[in-house]
């Protein structure tokens, strides 16, 4: 048997295996996180040959089915440069997702590398426990607080990720209310399709069933209210404003049902990310904030994806006039060159924490790597670059080319909706352009599109039959043109695939 025939035979076997996983899913939400792996099954024979030897590796891979790690070679990335990454075979890809929504300054910003190197040569590590700390930790806290202008924030607490930041949010809120003598305020309200991380509490807050299955989640103190996706969930004839009013009323009804005295906080992403890139409908946050304020419920803004320029504003809170009590950030904080996240704390909450911890003798929360000096040094430099290069204005300038260029494909018969703002965008594939006519899950249309993008030399996020893009902030006009061209080629191939699958049904 020739090598090409062998590869094709193996690919067919693997495809059947993957389709079995997807078909077994009871809903598109349940196979959201299998889709990227399905995309690998559609990879080229050349890729499969060249990567032979990495199947069955020793890493327990995140968001990857175990059998897929065994059966399919991973896409092994070995180098990054600007808006591009390179695989082990030397193939170049336009990284249209900026890693995982995070490499805002691209893959080889020398100033960030130099900042890390300087700090590694000076003080590679020291902690921030017991009133001991490092200069980079203190400097970053000051710089970070100055970047947030939607309202005054008083303190920054450092974590290593967005998940840790959102776990910390829950502990801070409980600590705050317990200190105030209001221990019944324990419940949190998040939204269906939200993503807040994958640690125990953050996954509970997340509104994606795949994060809950077999993990005994969500925790019983977490409740989920409506997803604000107008295209999918609005009623016939309902305007965006009316849709927002209905969702705010539903939130209020949930609060009254559970008892306002038991609800501690509401958490939301300004633009929902991993749930499908869902910008809020008109007047949504104005109405939601009025409800939570009415019932003395804290508002947590999860800015992990949106912060530092992604939406064409320094924070999503600036764009949508959100006045939060607490904020979570990560990802672009260091342009992902080092793991770091943070919680921004309002004066009202930090004052109570200060008083209570003084009474107890300690604020007993933190991590070994909270305020890691190397991560902080890189983040300080990233914030300097954002300011010096006016990254927010740079995103605003290039965003229309990106948004309009991709949305020009909206008339495709297999696209239900293309949505986004700034440098974040999602495409949802449906039949008859209707949210009520999904393609059969076993067709793997989103995964097929993602694989075609990969074939063309572009990486996107696949989530069921939706794909998402959030390119680096430094993407150039010519690179946006390249992105649009590759998107168009992948779309044409996917349209042909749908025609082929439909013809097989007849």
Amino acid 39: pLDDT: 54
Give me the chain's average pLDDT, please.
92
Compute the C-alpha angle 285/314/399, nearest 5°: 90
* Distance between CA atoms of residues 187 and 223, nearest Å: 7
* Distance between CA atoms of residues 338 and 160, nearest Å: 9
Query: What mean pLDDT comes out for the span 406-417?
Result: 98
Sheet with 326-329, side-by-side order of all strands? 155-159, 341-345, 326-329, 298-302, 263-268, 187-191, 222-225
Structure tokens at 77: 């990335």
In angstroms, the Cα distances linking 107 to 92, 112, 326, 387 are 13, 10, 30, 19
Query: What mean pLDDT comes out for the span 450-470?
Result: 97
Sheet with 77-81, side-by-side order of all strands? 77-81, 84-87, 92-95, 458-459
Indicate if the pLDDT at residue 21 is higher than 70. Answer: no
Among 484, 415, 483, 490, CA closest to 452:
490
pLDDT single digits (tens) 277-312: 999 999 999 999 999 999 999 999 999 999 999 999
Confidence of residue 42 (pLDDT cuts 50, 70, 90): low
* Distance between CA atoms of residues 276 and 438, nearest Å: 15
pLDDT single digits (tens) 149-172: 999 999 999 999 999 999 999 999
Q: Which residue has the higher pLDDT, 264 or 43?
A: 264
Confidence of residue 24 (pLDDT cuts 50, 70, 90): very low
Counting residues of the chain whose pLDDT is more than 90, the rounded percentage is 86
Amino acid 35: pLDDT: 55
In angstroms, the Cα distances linking 499 to 210, 282, 485 are 30, 36, 21
Indicate if the pLDDT at residue 378 is higher than 90. Answer: yes
* Distance between CA atoms of residues 275 and 426, nearest Å: 10
pLDDT single digits (tens) 87-120: 999 999 999 999 999 999 999 999 999 999 999 9
Query: What is the pTM for the complete model shown?
Result: 0.92
Query: What mean pLDDT comes out for the span 467-480?
Result: 98
Which residues, 6 or more positions from 258, have their beta carbon under 8 angstroms from its beta carbon? 187, 223
Amino acid 197: pLDDT: 98
* Distance between CA atoms of residues 400 and 410, nearest Å: 15
Amino acid 48: pLDDT: 42
């Amino acid at each position: 048997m020739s090598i090409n025939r062998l590869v094709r035979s193996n690919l067919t076997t693997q495809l059947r295996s993957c389709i079995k996983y997807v078909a077994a899913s009871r809903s598109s939400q349940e196979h959201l996180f299998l889709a990227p792996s399905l995309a690998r099954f559609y990879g080229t024979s050349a890729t499969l040959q060249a990567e032979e030897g990495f199947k069955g590796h020793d890493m327990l891979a995140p968001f990857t089915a175990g059998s897929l790690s065994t059966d399919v070679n991973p896409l092994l990335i070995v180098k990054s440069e600007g808006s591009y990454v390179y695989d082990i075979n030397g193939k170049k890809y336009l990284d249209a997702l900026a890693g995982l929504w995070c490499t805002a300054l691209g893959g080889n910003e020398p100033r960030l590398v130099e900042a890390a190197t300087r700090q590694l040569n000076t003080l590679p590590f020291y902690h921030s426990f017991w009133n001991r700390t490092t200069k980079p930790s203190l400097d970053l806290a000051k710089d970070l607080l100055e970047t947030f202008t939607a309202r005054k924030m008083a303190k920054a607490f450092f974590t290593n990720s967005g998940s840790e930041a959102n776990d910390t949010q829950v502990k801070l809120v409980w600590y705050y209310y317990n200190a105030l003598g209001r221990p019944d305020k324990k419940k949190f309200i998040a939204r269906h399709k939200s993503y807040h991380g994958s640690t125990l509490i953050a996954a509970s807050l997340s509104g994606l069933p795949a994060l809950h299955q077999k993990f005994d989640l969500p925790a019983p103190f977490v409740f989920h209210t409506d997803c604000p996706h107008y295209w999918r969930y609005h009623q016939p004839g309902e305007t965006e404003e009316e849709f927002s009013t209905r969702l705010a009323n539903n939130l209020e009804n949930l609060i009254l049902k559970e008892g306002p005295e038991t609800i501690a906080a509401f958490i939301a992403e300004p633009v929902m990310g991993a749930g499908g890139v869902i910008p809020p409908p008109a007047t949504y946050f104005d109405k939601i904030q009025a409800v939570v304020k009415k019932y003395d419920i804290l508002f947590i803004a999860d800015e992990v994806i949106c912060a530092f320029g992604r939406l064409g504003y320094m924070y999503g809170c600036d764009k949508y006039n959100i006045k939060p009590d607490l904020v979570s950030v990560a990802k672009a904080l260091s342009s992902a060159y080092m793991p770091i996240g943070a919680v921004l704390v309002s004066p009202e909450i930090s004052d109570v924490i200060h008083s209570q911890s003084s009474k107890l003798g300690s604020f007993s929360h933190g991590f070994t790597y909270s305020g890691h000096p190397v991560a902080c040094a890189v983040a300080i430099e990233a914030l300097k670059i954002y300011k010096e290069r006016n990254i927010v204005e740079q995103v605003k300038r290039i965003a229309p080319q990106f948004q309009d260029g991709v949305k020009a494909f909206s008339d495709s018969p297999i696209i239900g909706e293309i949505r986004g703002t700034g440098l974040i965008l999602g495409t949802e594939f449906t039949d008859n352009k209707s949210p009520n006519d999904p393609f059969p899950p076993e067709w793997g249309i989103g995964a097929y599109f993602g694989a075609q993008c990969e074939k063309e030399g572009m990486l996107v996020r696949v989530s069921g039959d939706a794909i998402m893009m959030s390119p680096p902030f430094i993407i150039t006009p010519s690179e946006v043109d390249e992105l649009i061209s590759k998107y168009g080629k992948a779309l044409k191939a996917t349209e042909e695939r749908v025609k082929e699958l439909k013809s097989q049904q007849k």
